[in-house]
Amino acid sequence: ADERTKKVGVNVGGDLAKIGRDFNCQDEMSAVPDENIINLGLYARRRDVVQNGSISLAELSRIVLGKEMAKDNGTRISDWTRRDLSDEQKRHCYEDGKAGIDIYNALKDLPDLSARISPEAATPGTIQMSQEMAFHLC
């Protein structure tokens, strides 16, 4: 896995661990820096988009993008160990991956409300707010 590339998804850390176990590449998967693993549920929670960071990709898509995802449980729980995936499985992979990227892109410019302000940036008796943060609050 490219250590510079962000890994974006719901429970993406668990997915990387499973890939490491299933394909005997635990060292490579564990080498991905934590700052490049983006759990979209927590990412949305830190931006006050959702109240609970334990949320499904489908629910995040509905809330953040206003889009419903297909609920084809037959494809979701089908045999993913096959060498040749079905067209339905390929479509499911594409839609999940695209939704994750679209959600990340929709959230990335919102302020992280869990971020701490440095003592140097704090001025007693005043509140300093970036223009971007003020825009998102209005």
DSSP category for residue 114: T
pLDDT score at 132: 55
Taking 50 as the pLDDT cut, the residues of the chain under it are 138
Q: pLDDT above 90 covers what percent of the chain?
A: 43
This prediction's pTM? 0.76
Query: Which run of H or of E encompasses 7?
Result: strand 7-9
CB 31 within 8 A of CB 44: no
Region of residue 43 (left: phi > 0; alpha: psi -120 to 50; beta: else) = alpha
Mean model confidence pLDDT for the chain = 84
CB 49 within 8 A of CB 111: no
Among 12, 2, 18, CA closest to 101: 12
